[in-house]
Structure formats: structure tokens, C-alpha cells
Structure 1
Amino acid sequence: MKKKLGLFLASTAMLISVIGCGNNSGSSSSGASESGAAGNGQSEEKASYKIAISQIVEHPSLDATREGFLAALKDGGLVEGDNLKVDYNNAQGDQTNNLTIAQKIAGEKYDLVLAIATPPAQAVVQQVKNSPILFAAVTDPLDAKLVDNLDQPGGNVSGAADTNPEAITKLMDFIAANIKDVKNVGIVLNQGEPNAVVMSKHAEEALEKHGIKLIKASVTNTSEVKQAAESLVGRVDAIYITLDNTVVEAVSTIIQVANEHDIPFFSADRDSVEKGAFATVGFKYYDHGYQAGQMALEVLKNGKKIGDLKVTFPDKLDLIMNLKAAAEQGIEVTDAMKDQVNDKENNLLE
């Protein structure tokens, strides 16, 4: 009996010793993890990310920007519904909604905020101070006072600008060279949108070099766009629109007017050309959004400071023409015009 009791006590002691070693090992591992988390402010490999998106209105260019942005994150391993939560907000073109969205975002903590178009970017930059901010589909970040240095933005803001003045100049040169007897070009314009004003000024200066006038038809909201386009009939030889959110939202009404009256219609964005404008010098907004998404990955996964990232610009400019729209608007597309398209497979639209 004493022998059995001795064996039992020895076994128990060994079991307690093993359990004790196990607990010590676990405590040591846990302590190292907590130390890393405390040192970095978060675990070294964050399990999930939370971002907010503020978009001024739904239209093809801005939607494509958002899709390209999320595609870049996905390609970088951040997948919505898996390890990425996206708080998407659309102001539906309303400035009150736009400010409310920015204030709501400021009241929460996000790993990153994306503002699509100038008005959301301005509102978010003014309101959000505790998260890194990226902008996209912004024409002039300096004029919009989002940053004061394109190469070294500093602070918590950087992004991707969606225009290159060279694109506007090239398009105006194309109009001057290829639209017969062109003397006046009309523009439907919301002068309350800073990006639209900046682009219209570039267009006006480029046309002046050819002795061509820019005739403005101003609008304050989308419902006025068709009437403004109709007011240009008989006064202009072509119509042009900028990356003007108010106007682009109603681009189909300008296409209708241009087709009915055989007026060549030019836009600043590819998506409007795909819908029925004749031509632009531009790029794909999906690619533009993808570029912004790559910047986001630098911040989220590589630990870069947003203010250290240069503001990027489109670098794949090409003439894009819609041949069906040309026929609708009474334009004869010559071989010389087609030869100006570098990527004919993708940018000569049938």
C-alpha cells in the first residue's frame, strides 16, 4: 500500500511539473506578443483594416475610380468582406450631404479615408485629423488647397490627381486641326466647381492660340445641363466639357443635343466618350483608381506615412475616339485622325 501511494505521489508531482512548464511557456509567448503590440501600437500583421470612402456623386468615371482602388487593395491582399471593411458614402451631388459625411467619418477611427472628387476631398481634409487621407479624381490639389506641395505633401493627406494640362492642350489642338471652320467652342460649366473652372481656363488658353473662342453656358445643378447645351446650338461649332461632376452626371442630355444638331462633342473623360461623346485625350479612370489603391497599400501594409507620398498624375495619355458617335454628329473621321491614336485596339471605339 505504501509502495502504491509513493508511486501515485511521484506521478502527481511529475504532472504538476509538466503543467507548470506549459504555463510558463505560454506566458512567455503571450508576453512577447503583447510587447510587440505595445511597441507598434498594433499587432505586427494586422488581421483586418477599416477604410471609409466619400464620393460626391455616382457617374461612370468616379465609380470606375472606386472600383480600380478596391481592385488594387484586393491584389495587395486586402479583400472586402474578408480582412477589409469598407464604409462607402455617396453625397448624391448634395453639398450638405457631403459635409455631413465628412463629419461622420471624422467621428470614427479609420485606417485610411479615400475621398473621390474635389468637394469630398475638401470636406474630408477640413474635418478628418486622425486618419490618413487619400484623394482621387481631383483636378488641381493645389488650387483646391488639399496640399501645398505636390512632391512633399506632408500632414495626413496625399493622393492621385486626375488631370494633366497636356491632355487639355492636345485635345484643343485636335479640335483646331480637325473640325472644319471651327471658330467657337461651347462649354457647359458649373463655375462653382473649382476643378471645372481650372480646366476651362486651360482650354480657353489653348484655343486662343488658334484664334478660337470658348463660349460658356453656366449651370448650377444637373437639371440645367440640357437647357445649357441647347443654348449653344447655332452659336458654336463644337462642344466641350471638363471633369465637371454636375455636368458629367447629365452627359447623356448633351449627347442627345449634339446628335440632333450634328455638333461635334468632346469630353475630358473616357467614360463620356464611351457613352457617346466623340473624342478625348485621356486615360481609364479604373487605372487612375488603381494608382490611388497602390498608394493606399504603401500606407496600410508597408507603413509609409501618407504625407511622404508624392501626388501622382496620369501618365498614359492617348487620343480616344468613338466612331459611332462621329457618325451621329456628322463628323468624317479620316485616316490621319485615326493615326493619332496610339492604342487603336482599345481607343478606337466602334
Structure 2
Amino acid sequence: NVTGTSDAVSAEKIMELALRITPDIKTVGALYNSGETNSIAVINNLKEYAQKNGLTVVEATVMNSSEVQQATASLASKADAIFSPIDNTIASAMPVVSQVANQAKIPVYVGADSMVKDGGLATYGINYVKLGQETANIAVQILEGQKPGDIPVKTLSDVEVYLNKTTAEAIGITIPEDVLSEAAQIFE
């Protein structure tokens, strides 16, 4: 008997954005903490997308932030781009991920706008005001007597583009105008 809202954005959606910005990607490096169940689910989604779209996924998993620099360097030598889901370990080490990836001229696509602010190149993110409104709508349904288990978990389909201009310049990528025009926020 559970319901609610989710701020998850699928790996498929983020990879579609990645391929609009850097269409020559053939190998994606998956950087995540293998102890975070949410990360494993998103990486499985990434692998499904990759298989359907002729991409190769190479993985580097970490258990704590002290392993992030080496894992990022390993992926930077094998991949055309790095992908990290909303992962607490990676999010806390984004400055390190960004530094290593920028030196290697590799874009990092991430699962949260805060990770773009901290150096990732781009993501699709959620408008949390809209998510809050959806959560309130569910609360009203419950208060009106509907059983929580009968109300599906709601995710937002209208996501927003977040970009990091400083990162794009550091790795020598020109973000296409059509992507720039969609940006809800551009971090500098």
C-alpha cells in the first residue's frame, strides 16, 4: 500500500540527450556505486538502451569516494563518454570526476542537475515545483479516501535540460543551438 512521486529520469532519456550533444559516442562508461540499488536499476536501463542502439557499455564500480578518481580515469581511457546515475557516492565526488574527465576531454552525463552544477556536462532534470504539485495531488486523493496502493507512483514526463558551459569549453564541445535553446539552466 504505497504510492508517491519519483524524481527519476531514465538512462534512456539522458542518453538521447547525450547523443544529441555528442553523436559520435560508441562506448559509454558507467560510473556508479554497486552497493546502491537505485544505481544498479538505472545502469540496467542504460545497458538495455545501449544494446538496442548499438552502443557498448563498460563499467567501473566503486564502494566509496576514495575509489572514484581511479575508476573515472579507467573509464576515460576506454569510453567516449561517461554516464553516472543519481548516485550518492559519485555525486559527492563530482569535482574529482569532472577534473579527471575534463583532462581526458570526455563528457560526463549524469542523473541529477546538481551533478551538472558540480561539473557534469548535461542531464535532463525534474522541475521540483511540478513534482511537489503532483505529490500534493496524490495526498488529496488519499485524503478523499482512495487507497494509496490503488494510486500509481507518478514520474514526470516533462523534463528540463541542464548544461554546464564551463565543462563544455574545457572538453572542447560545442553544444548544439537546439539543445541550448531547451536549457532550463546553464551553469558557468
Measured against the shorter chain, the TM-score band is 0.7 to 0.9
- C-alpha spacing 1:235/1:195, structure 2 compared with 1 (3 Å): same
Once residues 220 and 314 of structure 1 are traced to their aligned partners in structure 2, the CA distance between those partners, rounded to angstroms, is 30
Maintained 8 Å contact 2:13/2:124: yes
1:181 Cα deviation from its structure 2 partner = 3.3
2:173 to 321, 325, 331: 331
- SS of the residue corresponding to residue 4 of structure 2 reads strand
Q: Does 1:190 align with 2:10?
A: no
Q: Secondary structure at the match of 1:205?
A: helix
Rounded to whole Å, the distance in 1 between the matches of 2:94 and 2:53 is 27
Following the alignment from structure 1 to structure 2, what is the Cα–Cα distance between the partners of residues 307 and 181?
44
State the shift of 1:236 in Å: 1.1
231 and 347 in structure 1: CA distance in 2 versus 1, 3 angstrom threshold: same
Q: Distance in 2 between matches of 1:334 and 1:293?
A: 37
CA–CA distance in 2 between the matches of 1:217 and 1:336?
32
- Percent of counterpart pairs with the same letter? 30
8 Å CA contact 1:173–1:207 kept in 2: the answer is no
Deviation at 1:217, TM superposition (A): 0.2
Change (3 A) 1:250 1:286: farther
Deviation at 1:158, TM superposition (A): 1.9
TM-score (normalised: structure 2): 0.83
1:189 CA displacement: 1.5
- Check if 1:281 corresponds to 2:124: yes
Residue 333 of structure 1 deviates from its aligned partner by 1.6
Are positions 1:172 and 2:39 aligned together?
A: no
Equivalent position to 1:317, from 159, 176, 181? 159
Q: Map residues 116-265 of structure 1 onto 2, 5 A cutoff.
A: 154=1, 157-165=2-10, 168-179=11-22, 181-265=24-108
Larger Rg: 1
- Partner of 2:163: helix, strand, or coil? strand
Question: Counterpart of 2:30 in 1: which secondary structure?
Answer: strand
Count of matched residue pairs = 188
Structure-2 change in CA distance of 1:218 and 1:302 (3 Å): same
Which is bigger in relative contact order (C-alpha 8 A, separation at least 6)? Answer: 2
TM superposition score normalised by structure 1:
0.48
Displacement after TM superposition at 1:184 (Å): 1.2
Deviation at 1:327, TM superposition (A): 0.8
Any conservation in 1 of the 2:9–2:124 contact (CA below 8 Å)?
no
Per-residue CA distance 1:183-220 (angstroms, 9 max, x = gap): 21111122222211111111122223332211100111
Q: Which amino acid aligns with 1:187?
A: A
Measured on the aligned residues, the alpha-carbon RMSD in Å equals 2.6
Cα distance, 1:235 vs. partner?
Answer: 1.1
Task: Supply the distance in 1 between the matched residues of 2:74 and 2:122 (Cα, whole angstroms).
Answer: 22
